[in-house]
Amino acid sequence: MRVLITVGPTREPIDAVRYLSNRSSGRMGAALVTAAQKHGHSVTAIAGPIVVPFPQNIQRIDVETAAEMQRAVLAQFPDHDLLIMAAAVADYRPRQILDGKIPSGDSLTLQLEPTQDIIALAGQSKRSDQRTVAFSLESAGGIERARQKMLRKNVDLMVFNPTSTMHSPTVQAVLLYPDGRSEELGCREKAAFADILLQRAVALF
């Protein structure tokens, strides 16, 4: 299959030197790219700023902001069978990017605005022969919220992902399906989880 995978965080600039971001390491996305490559799929990775080791010999598109990732995903998705949205895209960005460097020392108030929901946009344009997989990073007990997000965004498989695993080498995920099924996978190394998730994604076809 032709698989499109997003990886890592985004950075939303505040001024010439500062930005808003999150704690995503990119390990999960890199593990998924490795698994997809190992299983013989044609892989395109859209990567935010990451420092983790990354597979070679794939098409890689480097981006920084949520807007750049959105443009790259919507441009690439029509040529792919499967989109796995593993990136931790910023939910908010500064309404205004200030010129130069803001002097330090004084208090600072930032006005933020929401970024667009990339997986929802992909769900709107998805063809009948395409599938989407998304991650829902939630606090403990947020599985119902993840299920609602899956249905609202037209996602074919949602990974409920507790916040405690964001910067960890392991993941304790629950797979959610639109027909109401769920599959608890327990605590696994991210590489082992990536193999299972690729198998479940292929089964969606």
Residues annotated as catalytic are: 22
Of the candidates 71, 67, 20, 73, the residue with the CA atom closest to the CA atom of residue 45: 73
Residues 195-201: contacts with CB under 8 Å, at least 24 apart: 195/35, 195/38, 197/32, 197/35, 197/84, 197/133, 197/159, 198/32, 198/35, 198/36, 198/39, 198/41, 200/157, 200/175, 201/82, 201/84, 201/131, 201/133, 201/157
